[in-house]
Amino acid sequence: MKIDRRSFLGLGLGAAAGVAASPMTWKLTDDISIWTQNWPWTPVPRDGEVTFDNTVCTLCPGNCGISVRKIAGRAVKIEGRGGYPVNDGGVCLHGISALQYLYDPSRIKSPMVKKRDAWKTVSWDEGLALAAEKIKSLRDLGRANTIACVAGSGEGTIAGLYRRLLMAAGSQNFYTMDSMDKTWKMLIAEMHGFDGTAGFDIESSDYLLSFGTGFIEGWGSPVGNFMANSSRKDRNAKLVQVEYRLSSTAAAADQWIPAKPGSEADLALSICSVMITENLYDKDYAEKSGKNFDDFAKLVTEKYAPELITRTTGIDVPKIKSLAAGFARAKAPLAIAGRGRGDAAGSMMEFAAVHALNCLAGNINKKGGFWMTKDADTMIWPSLVMDDAAAKGYAKAAAGPGGSPDRLFDALTSAGEDETPVEMLMVYNANPCHTLHDAGTVRSAIEKIPFVVSFSPYMDDTARLADLVLPTHMFLEMGEDIHGCASSVKKVTALSKPVAGPLFDTRHPGDAVIMLAKAVDGSVRASFPWESYEVAISEVMGDTWDILAKDGYIKCASQPPAFRPGVDFKLLVGYDGPPAPLGDKKKFPLILVEMDHMRLTSGAVASSPFAVKTVPDTILKDNDILVEMNPETARQTGVSPGRMAVVETPVGSARVKVNIFDGIMPGVIAMPGGLGHFGGDNRYIGGKGVNVNELIGPVIDPVSGLDAAWGIRARISRA
């Protein structure tokens, strides 16, 4: 056949039409779309049998019961544990996100040693030997007292083991991070002569007078507080929030009292004065069984009458009187101090002034009131073996007095060139380089320590400065005893248990310390007779262990304690106000405060990707942190919304973005806490924003010796 142009074209067209009409085209079109529905780079989760495992969340002191849903053995979802006394099914966003902490690829996957600023992976034996060698040599040199340890909290058997290691080695330098609980404990001792912990029966109180306490920002046991807050409507209970900023708690409150920052204690005393002058107090408790009541009454009625303090607080007389009436007439009034999330110790005097209200109302150890409970000391530790080196070292005073890490780092900062008060530091469950005030100085102090060991699962702001990291399990991979439910009257002792992994070459923090002690040998080894943490906890917890192992948790009866210690107002008689924030008023006309935000963690663990995702762009925008201020403040300082500005304080400065909010008092600026983490390879939180603790310096409370800072004087200008 002759192929001319015409037939060629004809054939071509025919072929095209044929192909188009053939099933192949349709099949291909279909196949291509099916391919787009099954892109190999879109994961297909594996299916399998569904099981549930219960444990306890330790991401914050709330210690909620959680239930982990597993599919074919792999943890896929965390939910609240129904019926658990703390949270009854509810759960906060951080707890739900815990699987992101578990599967986080930026976790420390094995022990590492820092050599000339570079990390080198080592085995556990090598790592432990290195740490043990250091302890041994310091003991041999008679400098056992220069071994220090900072732990998140002092409760539980794991913290007990770390404390024990220090004692066995011969050092008093064991520190736990400050929190309001420490201050309350001291206050109870001071005013009631009682050794115990404070509890607030929030869920039964019908009138909560809160002095800046962030029930809804994550104070105490967050989920429990949310539940209590929700039940207020049904119980007809009131919440009055004293705060210079319309926080979520203030917004949830029935009444918001925007007293000037720093004047909270004055306001509390003024309410006391009204209660006393108008005879609105519990005479039997406060006056008859109380000590130094008359001096206290004289002080408040003479110096803190409402007329005298409206200027300092900005709250007018009728309002103060109505607060006093409301508080005093309530069936179960409860006054609470401990600002924001209660992460900071706070001022003892401020706590005392607030607590005076509870004492005047007589609502002590009663339903809906303030409870003092004895710490149930159920642990039985075998006696320590202390050799000569240990005894000598232990006889020497701690570097930082009062067990406050602030004082420890203070001592390091102020030590001379040739002094080394701390030769070795161990850090467990704490991130002081991020969470302590004036974090920059803390960092420099830690850099001065010749040998730092971190027991962190994550490359956090402190671990990055360590010389050795001995990575521990994250909480879902381990079991421990939990003594918890911070600040609540519902005391729950629980046993968490491993529900996943371990995914990497990590160890239980209890096992890690036991292994370390054994590697040190001698009397230190002898003080740790257990084979493993599991053996240790079962022996140390004694009878409690058996119940915990069987039931998972023990709930103490939520009945108010039967006894009712008396009150001594002596501390308050010498009241001359809480310590002022750092800084010169002329140079720094504004006050910078940290604001806690429920969607950001502020403790040792940085926020998860999920949590960061929920953070509004009025807090974080790209990598910039936003500072909140009243439109009036912006006008006066000449900064504009959405634009960059520089915040300066006596201890630091930072570039920030400006966010305008009507609900904050003019003259006060607020920065969210929980940002500015190092984060290592974790780009979901690492490097985002600024750590507000770099801008706020510590203020040592003259009474408690703890850090009482809640803010600092500041100025802001256009960047």
Partner 1 sequence: MTKDNHGKAYKFGMVIDLDKCTGCGSCMVACMSENNVPFKENETDKKDSLTWMTVYKLTNGKPFPDTDICYMPRPCMHCGGKGDHGHSPCVSVCPATATDYGYDTGIVSQIYTRCFGCRYCMVSCPYHARYFNWWDPKWPPGMEEYLSPDVSPRMRGVVEKCTFCYHRYQEARDRAYYEKRDTIAEDEYQTACTQACPAGAITFGDLNNPDHEVYKLVKPDPHNCGRPRDPKAFRVLERLQTNPKVYYISEREWVRKAGDNYRKGEWDKKNMLTKADGQH
Partner 2 sequence: MDSALIPEGARRCPFPVFAAGIAVASAVLLWGVYAMGLVWIKGLNQTNMNDYYGFALWIWADLAVIAIGGGAFFTGLLRYVFGIDELKHIINLAVVIGVICYSSALLILAIDIGQPLRGWFIFWHANVHSMLTEVAFCLSLYFSVLIIEFIPLVLENRQLDKVPFFHNLGHNMHGIMAVFAATGAFLSCFHQGSLGGVAGVLYGRPFAFREGLLIWPWTFFLFTWSAAAYGPCFTLTVCKIFEGVTRKKLVKDNVVDLLAKISGWMIATYIIAKIIDTIYWAGVTVSDMGFSFMHFYSDNAFYGVWILFTEIVICGIVPAILLTVKRFREDKKLLILAIVLGTIGVCINRWVMVLQVVAVPVMSFDTWALYIPSWQEVATTILPIAYGIIVLSLAYRYLPMFPQEQELYDAK
Ligand X SMILES: Nc1nc2c(c(=O)[nH]1)N[C@H]1C(S)=C(S)[C@@H](COP(=O)(O)OP(=O)(O)OC[C@H]3O[C@@H](n4cnc5c(=O)[nH]c(N)nc54)[C@H](O)[C@@H]3O)O[C@H]1N2
Residue ranges in contact with partner 2 by CB under 8 A:
5-6, 29, 32-33, 35-37
Contact 491/544 with Cβ under 8 angstroms?
Answer: no
Q: How far is the CB of 98 from ligand X (least distance, A)?
A: 23
By CB under 8 A, name the one of 241, 456, 630, 637 that touches partner 1.
Answer: 630
Q: Of 26 and 35, which CB lies nearer to ligand X in the complex structure?
A: 35
Q: How many residues lie near partner 1 (CB under 8 A)?
A: 77
Residue whose C-alpha is closest to residue 314's, from 350, 262, 274, 352: 262
Q: Which of residues 25-44 bind ligand X (CB under 6 A)?
A: 37-38, 42, 44
Return the residue matching tokens 């029930």: 215
Least separation in angstroms between residue 302's CB and ligand SF4 is 44
Closest CB 545 distance from ligand SF4, rounded Å: 22
Q: Which of 55, 57, 160, 176: binder of ligand SF4 (CB under 6 A)?
A: 57
Taking CB under 6 A as the rule, does residue 63 contact ligand SF4?
yes
Q: Is the peptide bond before 502 cis (omega within 30 degrees of 0)?
A: yes
Segment interacting with ligand SF4 (CB under 6 A) among 58-66, 103-111, 395-403, 686-694: 58-66
Give dist(CA 100, CA 105) in Å, integer: 9
Burial of 302 (0-12, 13-18, 19+ CB in 10 A): exposed
Give the one entry of partner 1, ligand X, partner 2, none that residue 93 binds, where binding means its C-beta sits below a cut-off of 5 to 8 angstroms depending on kind: partner 1
Contact indicator for 517, 525 with CB cutoff of 8 Å: yes
Identify residue 280 by its one-letter amino acid code: L
Decide if residue 47 touches ligand X (CB under 6 A). yes
160 versus 218: smaller Cβ distance to partner 1: 218
Q: Is 327 exposed, middle or buried (0-12, 13-18, 19+ CB in 10 A)?
A: buried
Least distance in angstroms from the C-beta of 47 to ligand X: 6
Q: How far apart are CA 522 and CA 519, in angstroms?
A: 9
Cα separation values, 10 from 1, 2, 19, 21, 410, Å? 14, 13, 14, 16, 93
CA–CA distance, 134 with 381 (Å, rounded to integer):
26
Token pair 């920052």 in the structure block, residue: 261
**Binding to partner 1 in span 41-60, by CB under 8 A:** 41-48
Tell me how far CA of residue 99 lies from CA of 66, 78, 106, 251, 638, in angstroms.
Answer: 12, 7, 13, 32, 45
List the interface residues with ligand SF4, window 197-226 (CB under 6 A): 222-223
Residue closer to ligand SF4 by CB (options 59, 696) is 59
CB of 4 to partner 2, least distance (A): 10
Q: Which of 35, 52 has the CB closer to partner 2?
A: 35
How far apart CA 400 and CA 706 sit, in angstroms, is 11
With binding defined as CB under 6 A, does residue 94 bind ligand SF4?
A: yes
CA torsion 704-210-324-305 (nearest 10°) is 40
614 is an interface residue for partner 1 by CB under 8 A: yes
Is residue 549 near partner 1 by the rule CB under 8 A?
A: no
Draw the binding track, 221-240, toward partner 1 (x: CB under 8 A; -: no contact). -xx--xx-xx--x-------
- Residue 155 tokens, joined: 């409760």
Q: Which of 365, 373, 608 is nearest to 484 (CA)?
A: 373
C-alpha to C-alpha distances, 491 to 188, 389, 487, nearest whole angstrom: 18, 40, 9
Binding at 384: pick from partner 2, partner 1, ligand SF4, none (beta carbon under 5-8 Å per type): none
- What is the layout of strands, in order, in the sheet containing 481-484? 481-484, 492-495, 553-555
Paired residues of 479 in beta bridges: none
Among 474, 428, 475, which residue's Cα sits nearest to residue 455? 428
Contacting partner 1 (CB under 8 A), which of 61, 65, 85, 90? Answer: 90
32 binds, among partner 2, partner 1, ligand SF4, none (CB under 5 to 8 A by kind): partner 2
Q: Which stretch binds partner 1 (CB under 8 A): 335-343, 528-536, 660-668, 690-698?
A: 660-668
**465 touching ligand SF4, by CB under 6 A:** no
The residue (of 71 and 503) whose beta carbon lies closer to ligand X is 71
Beta carbon nearer to partner 2, 4 or 47: 4
Distance of CA 634 to the CA centre of its chain: 31
- Element at 372 (helix H, strand E): strand 370-373
When CB distances are held under 5 to 8 angstroms depending on the partner's kind, the choice from partner 2, ligand X, partner 1, none that residue 223 binds is partner 1
- Partner residues linked to 52 by β-bridges: 69
**Interaction of residue 608 with ligand SF4, rule CB under 6 A:** no
Task: Report the partner that residue 271 touches, choosing among partner 1, ligand SF4, partner 2, none (CB closer than 5 to 8 A by kind).
Answer: none
Q: How far is the CB of 20 from partner 1 (least distance, A)?
A: 21
97 binds, among ligand X, ligand SF4, partner 1, none (CB under 5 to 8 A by kind): partner 1
Of 37 and 236, which has the nearer Cβ to ligand X? 37
- The interface region with partner 1, picked from 98-106, 396-404, 447-455, 542-550 by CB under 8 A, is 98-106
Distance of CA 235 to the CA centre of its chain: 30
d(CA 13, CA 10): 5
Intra-chain end-to-end CA distance of the chain, in Å: 83
611 belongs to the binding site for partner 1 (CB under 8 A): yes
Asked if 64 interacts with ligand SF4 (CB under 6 A), we say: yes
With CB under 5 to 8 Å by kind, the binding choice for 251 among partner 2, partner 1, ligand X, none is partner 1
Q: What is the dihedral of CA 381, 382, 383, 385, to 10 degrees?
A: -110
Beta strands in 244-336 (DSSP E): 255-257, 333-336
Q: Residues 235 to 274: which contact ligand SF4 by CB under 6 A?
A: none
Q: Does 536 bind ligand SF4 (CB under 6 A)?
A: no
Other C-beta atoms closer than 10 Å to the C-beta of 77 total: 12
Q: How far is the CB of 6 from partner 2 (least distance, A)?
A: 6
Considering the rule CB under 8 A, would residue 662 count as an interface residue with partner 1?
yes
Helices (H) and strands (E) in the chain, counts: 25, 26
User: Is residue 659 involved in binding partner 1 (CB under 8 A)?
Assistant: no
Q: What is the DSSP letter of 677?
A: B
Alpha helices in 563-654 (DSSP H): 570-573, 609-614, 631-637
Which of 363/607 has CB closer to partner 1?
A: 607
Cα(400)–Cα(408) distance, integer angstroms: 4
Which partner in ligand X, partner 1, ligand SF4, none is near 549 (CB below 5 to 8 A by kind)?
none
Q: Which stretch binds ligand SF4 (CB under 6 A): 59-67, 438-446, 506-514, 583-591?
A: 59-67
* Alpha-carbon gap, residue 566 to 286, rounded angstroms: 8
In the complex with partner 2, which residue's Cβ is closer, 37 or 383?
A: 37
> What amino acid is encoded at 439 in this protein?
A
- Exactly one of 664, 670, 696, 712 binds partner 1 (CB under 8 A); that residue is 664
Pairing outcome for strands 207-211 and 333-336: parallel
Amino acid identity, residue 520? Answer: V
Query: CB-wise, 29 or 322, nearer to partner 2?
Result: 29
In the bound state with ligand X, the residue whose beta carbon lies nearer, of 42 and 559, is: 42
Binding-site string for partner 1 from residue 160 to residue 199, where x marks contact by CB under 8 A and - marks none: ----------------------------------------
Q: Which residues are at the interface with ligand SF4 (CB under 6 A)?
A: 57, 59-60, 62-64, 91-92, 94-95, 222-223
Q: Which residues are at the interface with ligand X (CB under 6 A)?
A: 37-38, 42, 44, 47
